[in-house]
Amino acid sequence: MKFFLDENESPAVLAPLRTVFYRHEFTSAHDEGLRGTLDPDLIREVKDRGFDAIMTQDRNQLSNRDERAAYIETGLHWIGHREPDAAGLQLIAATASAYLAAMPHILDALSEVTGAHSFRVVNFPQQVGQRVKINPLSL
């Protein structure tokens, strides 16, 4: 399958996705020269270029009537998540880990569905105590 990473996602998440899911193609808006394209036009252009889904943080695409209609018309899938409450490396790690954990389930579902679908990816907790337990070692 072929996945398009919207310009609001960091292209740094492409490397882990490409490495783990090497049988699929992951490309960014920057790579495709589509940065700044309005969403309804973007959705149609992405479909014309042979993509199966758009990966994005733009949850408004699902509530905007014209954008939702473009997804339905093209049969393109929407894969998205809320922007994590993080920055820098934590933002990249949070986004990449959420997509990496969700992608096997998304791929399974995509093999069974017809027509446009939305896939809401759940982000991981970001606070250190939620992700890592730190304890001193002693004898």
CA dihedral 127, 130, 136, 138 (to 10 degrees): 180
The C-alpha atoms of residue 60 and residue 103 are separated, in whole angstroms, by 22
Q: Does the structure show a pLDDT above 90 at 34?
A: yes
Sheet strands (E) in the chain: 2-5, 25-28, 53-56, 77-80, 118-120
pLDDT of residue 136: 81
Domain ranges in the chain are: 2-131
Q: Does the structure show a pLDDT above 70 at 128?
A: no
Which structure tokens are listed for 30?
Answer: 């920057």
Instruction: Determine if the pTM surpasses 0.75.
Output: yes
Q: Which whole number is the average pLDDT over 112-122? A: 94
| Domain spanning 2-131, CATH architecture | 3-Layer(aba) Sandwich (3.40)
Segment 42-64, tens digit of pLDDT: 999 999 999 999 999 988 899 99
